[in-house]
C-alpha cells in the first residue's frame, strides 16, 4: 500500500469506528431480538420504518400517495447482519453490526432530510478478520415484493417504467432504441449496454447513473453518487419465495468488478460505498431528468456561471497528415511536410475568417504522438507561437494531449511501463500501434512526467488540453509505481483525474476536457475525501462521445440524439468538434452541435460555397447568442426542439430541427413556466406566427428538409 492508500484507509476506518453522539435506540440484545422495536425516519415525502430483528425489515412509504416502494427484509447478499447498535442521530438512523463467521463489520445509515424530498442510504464495510474478503458479488438493496399475475406485474405498477439517466439513448445505439424498461422487464430480462467500460456482455442487473421511475404523473429518481469510486445505480431481482419475485433497488452493488476498492478487503481495510438517494418528483421521465440535473448541480457538477469556452477551429479535417494510411502521421518526415508553422498559420486564418476563438491542434504538434513535448524545431518556441496566434489572428491555443492509453510511449521512461504479475515489464511493439501502449497510467513515473510537460505548455500559453487516450488496458504489479497492487481500472481512472487536478492546482484557468469518465461526473470538481493531490479542481468538460467524424450521418441515424438527452440530465459542459465538410446548405450539422455542446469545435472546409456561406452566417448568429448556448439552461420541448434560457433576463432562443427529407410544418407550444422563465409576462418571438393562449404561446413554423430554424424569445 502506498501513502495515499494509508490516508484513505485511516479516514475510512475512522468513519467506521467512530460513534457520534445520538440517541441509542437499541443495544445488542434488543437489536437481535425477535421483538425488536421499529424505528422510523421521515420527511414530507417518505417514511422509512426499519425493524432490526433477525432480518432488517424495511418498509418505505411515499407519504403523499400512500405507495409502498419497499416492504420486506433488506437484501444483503453476503449474509444476515447482526446489528449490535441502532442509533438515532437527528434525521439519521445508524445501524452498526457484524456478519457472523466472516470478520466483516457493517455500518448502514439511513437519512431523511426534512428540507428536501429525498431519503438517502450509505453503507460501509470493514474487515476485522484475519483473511481477505472477496466481495466481487456483493449486492444489497431495498426489496419490493411483486406478486405476478400470470406473467404480468400488478395493475398498480403496470404503468410505471424505469428510464436510464442520462442515456435514454445510447450514442452507439439505433434510432428505435430507448432505455425505458417496465417493471416486468427488470424482473424477467437481461440488460445490455456498452457504455460502461466497453463491455458487451449482458447482465442480470440494470445499470445506470440514475433511474427515473415514473408513471408519467408521480416519479421517483433513484441515484447513486460516488465521487470516490466507480459505482452505478442498479436494479435487479431477488426471489422472496417460490413464484414471488421482488424488485431489488438502491443499496450497493459490485458491477463488472467495480468499485474495485470495495470488491476485495484485506484484513484491516475498510470501504465506504457511495450514497444511494431516492427523490420524489411530480411528472414524467423528463422531469426526472431535470430533477437529476438539479441534484448534480447542487453537488457541484454543473455549468459554471458565465461559462465561455473559446470556439475551436480544428485543423485535423483539412490537414492531410491525419488522413495518411497506417501510422504515418507519426512519421517525422510527414509531420515536417504537412504540419509546419506555415500550415498552422493557414489554419489560423481559416479560424479567424469563420469567427472561431482558438486554434485547436490535433495530433502532429508534438515531437511524437502523445509526447506532450512541443516540437520547437519544426514550429518554433511555444510561447512565441501562442503570442503570434493572439497578435495576428486573435486566437487562443488549444492542444490535443492524449494520455497513456493511446500514444507513442517511446518518449516516456520504460520504468513507467506496466509489470505483469510474474514481474515481467511490458515493452512496446510499434507494429501493434498506439492503442497497445504499455504505459501504466497510474504510475508516479507517468503521472509526474506528464504533469510537468502539461505545466510547461500551460506556462507557454495553452488555453485548453484534451485528455484523450484515457483507455484502460491491463493491470500493473510494479511495486515502485506508487499505486496499490495490482493497479486496475479504478486506480487508472483515479490517476487521470488526479493529473487534471495537478495541472489545475497551478493553472486553474486552463480548460481540461476528459474523455469517457464513468460515471460522467467522476473526477469533476473537488477531490474526494482521502485522495492526494487535491489542491486543484478536476476537469472542466467531457467529450461528446466521438461523434466527430461523420456528424451528419450520426445525426440522421439517431446517434447524436444522445446529446439531447445528455443536456436534459447534465449542465456539465460537453466538448465536441465536428467536420463541417459533412454539412448542408441549412448548416444543420453546425446548429445541432451548437445547440447540444456548450463547448463547440468545428473544422473542415466544405467544397460548396453556399454551404460555407450558411455556416459563416450561422457562426455570426451563434457568436451573438453564445451565452445562451454556452451558459444558458437547456430545456427540451422534444428531441428536435431545444430551448436555451437565460433565467436572469427571462429571454431564450429556440432551436427547431427537421431531420426528415421533406419540409416539416410543426406546432410549437412554448410554456414559459416550464422552461425556466417567469409566468405572467408578455413574450415576443422573432417568428411572427406565435400567439398566446393562456399561459402558453403557440407557434406554427415551417422548417426546411434536413434544416434548422432559430427563434429568439424576448
**pLDDT (tens digit per residue) in 610-620:** 999 999 999 99
Task: Extract the C-alpha cell encoding 102.
Answer: 466472516
- State the cell numbers at 626: 453564445
**Structural domains present in the chain:** 3-298 (2.70.98), 312-407+439-543 (3.20.20.70), 552-714 (2.60.40.1180)
Question: What pLDDT does 463 receive?
Answer: 98
Give residue 281's pLDDT band: very low, low, confident or very high (50, 70, 90): very high
Of the candidates 269, 291, 146, 154, the one whose C-alpha atom is nearest the C-alpha of residue 213 is 291
- The tens digit of pLDDT for each residue in 629-668 reads 999 999 999 999 999 999 899 999 999 999 999 999 999 9
Grid cell listed for 333 = 518526415
Q: Judge whether residue 32 has pLDDT over 70.
A: no
DSSP 8-state secondary structure symbol assigned to residue 472: -
Per-residue DSSP letter, 316: G
3-state secondary structure of 62: strand
Kindly report the number of other CB atoms within 10 A of residue 195's CB atom. Answer: 22
Please state the pTM of the whole predicted model: 0.93
Coil, strand or helix: which one is 431? helix
CA dist 544 → 111, 401, 490, 492, 599 (Å): 36, 16, 22, 21, 10
Please spell the DSSP secondary structure of 184-234, one letter per residue.
Answer: HHHHH--B--STTTT----BSSEEESEEEEESSSEEEEEEEE-TTS---EE
pLDDT over 80 (residue 714): yes
User: Residue 344 and residue 323: Cα distance in Å, rounded?
Assistant: 16
Confidence of residue 180 (pLDDT cuts 50, 70, 90): very high
CB 527 within 8 A of CB 539: no
Residue 706 DSSP code: T
Q: What is the pLDDT of residue 287?
A: 97
Query: Using N-to-C axis directions, what is the helix angle for 489-506 and 444-459, rounded to 10°?
Result: 30
Mean pLDDT for the stretch of residues 395-417? 96
Identify whether the C-beta of residue 26 lies closer than 8 Å to the C-beta of residue 85.
yes
pLDDT single digits (tens) 675-698: 999 988 999 999 878 999 999 999
Residue 399 pLDDT grade (very low, low, confident, very high; cuts 50, 70, 90): very high
Q: Sign (positive/negative) of CA torsion 587, 591, 592, 593?
A: positive
Opening angle at CA 584, ends 583 and 586, nearest 5: 120
**Which of 84, 90, 95, 26 lies closest to 58 in space, CA to CA?**
95
Largest CA distance in the chain: 83
Average pLDDT, the chain: 91
Q: Is the predicted pLDDT of residue 23 greater than 70, yes or no?
A: no
Indicate the pairing of strand 312-314 with strand 358-361. Answer: parallel
Per-residue pLDDT, 197: 63
Amino acid at each position: 500500500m502506498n501513502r495515499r492508500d494509508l490516508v484513505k484507509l485511516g479516514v475510512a476506518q475512522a468513519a467506521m469506528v467512530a460513534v457520534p453522539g445520538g440517541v441509542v435506540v437499541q443495544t445488542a440484545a434488543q437489536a437481535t431480538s425477535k421483538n425488536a422495536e421499529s424505528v422510523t425516519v421521515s420527511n414530507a415525502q417518505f417514511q422509512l420504518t426499519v425493524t432490526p430483528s433477525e432480518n432488517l425489515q424495511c418498509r418505505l412509504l411515499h407519504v403523499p400517495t400512500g405507495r409502498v416502494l419497499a416492504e420486506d427484509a433488506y437484501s444483503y447478499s453476503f449474509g444476515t447482519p447482526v446489528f449490535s447498535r441502532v442509533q438515532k442521530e437527528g434525521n439519521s438512523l445508524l445501524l452498526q453490526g457484524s456478519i457472523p463467521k466472516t470478520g466483516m463489520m457493517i455500518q448502514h445509515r439511513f437519512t431523511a432530510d426534512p428540507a428536501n424530498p429525498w431519503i438517502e442510504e450509505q453503507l460501509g464495510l470493514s474487515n476485522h478478520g484475519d483473511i481477505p474478503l472477496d466481495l466481487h458479488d456483493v449486492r444489497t438493496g431495498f426489496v419490493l415484493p411483486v406478486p405476478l399475475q400470470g406473467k404480468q406485474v400488478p395493475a398498480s405498477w403496470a404503468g410505471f417504467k424505469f428510464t436510464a439517466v442520462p442515456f435514454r439513448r445510447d450514442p452507439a445505439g439505433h434510432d428505435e432504441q430507448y432505455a425505458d424498461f417496465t417493471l416486468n422487464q427488470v424482473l424477467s430480462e437481461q440488460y445490455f449496454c456498452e457504455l460502461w467500460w466497453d463491455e458487451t456482455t449482458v447482465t442480470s442487473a440494470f445499470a445506470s447513473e440514475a433511474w427515473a421511475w415514473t408513471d408519467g404523473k408521480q416519479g421517483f429518481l433513484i441515484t447513486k453518487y460516488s465521487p470516490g469510486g466507480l459505482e452505478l445505480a442498479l436494479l435487479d431481482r431477488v426471489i422472496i419465495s417460490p413464484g414471488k419475485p421482488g424488485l431489488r433497488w438502491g443499496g450497493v452493488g459490485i458491477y463488472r468488478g467495480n468499485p474495485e476498492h470495495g470488491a476485495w478487503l484485506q484484513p484491516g481495510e475498510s470501504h465506504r460505498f457511495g450514497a444511494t438517494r431516492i427523490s420524489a418528483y411530480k411528472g414524467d421521465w423528463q422531469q426526472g431528468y431535470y430533477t437529476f440535473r438539479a441534484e448534480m448541480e447542487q453537488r457541484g457538477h454543473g455549468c459554471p456561471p458565465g461559462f465561455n469556452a473559446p470556439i475551436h477551429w480544428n485543423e485535423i479535417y483539412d490537414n492531410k497528415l491525419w488522413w495518411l494510411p497506417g501510422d504515418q502521421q507519426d512519421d517525422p518526415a510527414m509531420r515536417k511536410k504537412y504540419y509546419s508553422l506555415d500550415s498552422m498559420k493557414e489554419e489560423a486564418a481559416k479560424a479567424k475568417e469563420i469567427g472561431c476563438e482558438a486554434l485547436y491542434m490535433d495530433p502532429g504538434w508534438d515531437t511524437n504522438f502523445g509526447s506532450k513535448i512541443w516540437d520547437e524545431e519544426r514550429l518554433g518556441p511555444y510561447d512565441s507561437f501562442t503570442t503570434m496566434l493572439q497578435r495576428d489572428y486573435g486566437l487562443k491555443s488549444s492542444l490535443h494531449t492524449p494520455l497513456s492509453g493511446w500514444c507513442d510511449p517511446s518518449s516516456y521512461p520504460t520504468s513507467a511501463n506496466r509489470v505483469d504479475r510474474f514481474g515481467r515489464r511490458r515493452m512496446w511493439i510499434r507494429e501493434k500501434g498506439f492503442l497497445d501502449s504499455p504505459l501504466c497510467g497510474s504510475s508516479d513515473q507517468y503521472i509526474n512526467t506528464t504533469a510537468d510537460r502539461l505545466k510547461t505548455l500551460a506556462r507557454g500559453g495553452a488555453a485548453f488540453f484534451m485528455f484523450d487516450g484515457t483507455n484502460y488496458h491491463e493491470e500493473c504489479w510494479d511495486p515502485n509505481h506508487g499505486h496499490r497492487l495490482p493497479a486496475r481500472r479504478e486506480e487508472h481512472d483515479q490517476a487521470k483525474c488526479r493529473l487534471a487536478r495537478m495541472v489545475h492546482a497551478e493553472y486553474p484557468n486552463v480548460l481540461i476536457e476528459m474523455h469517457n469518465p464513468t460515471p460522467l461526473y467522476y473526477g469533476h470538481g473537488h477531490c474526494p475525501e482521502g485522495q492526494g493531490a487535491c489542491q486543484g479542481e478536476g476537469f472542466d468538460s467531457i467529450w461528446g462521445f466521438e461523434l466527430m467524424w461523420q456528424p451528419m450521418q450520426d445525426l440522421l441515424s439517431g446517434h447524436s440524439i444522445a446529446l439531447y438527452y445528455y443536456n436534459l440530465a447534465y449542465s456539465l459542459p460537453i466538448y465536441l468538434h465536428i467536420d463541417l465538410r459533412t454539412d448542408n446548405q441549412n448548416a444543420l450539422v453546425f446548429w445541432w452541435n451548437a445547440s447540444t455542446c456548450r463547448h463547440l469545435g468545428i473544422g473542415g472546409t466544405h467544397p460548396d460555397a453556399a454551404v460555407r456561406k450558411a455556416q459563416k452566417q450561422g457562426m455570426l448568429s451563434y457568436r451573438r447568442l453564445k451565452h445562451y448556448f454556452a451558459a444558458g439552461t437547456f430545456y427540451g420541448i422534444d428531441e428536435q426542439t431545444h430551448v436555451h434560457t437565460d433565467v436572469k433576463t427571462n429571454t431564450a432562443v429556440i432551436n427547431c430541427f427537421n431531420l426528415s427529407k421533406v419540409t416539416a410544418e410543426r406546432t410549437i407550444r412554448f410554456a414559459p413556466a416550464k422552461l425556466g422563465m417567469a409566468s405572467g409576462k408578455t413574450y415576443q418571438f422573432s417568428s411572427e406566427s406565435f400567439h398566446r393562449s393562456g399561459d402558453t404561446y403557440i407557434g406554427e413554423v415551417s422548417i426546411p428538409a434536413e434544416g434548422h430554424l432559430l427563434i429568439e424569445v424576448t
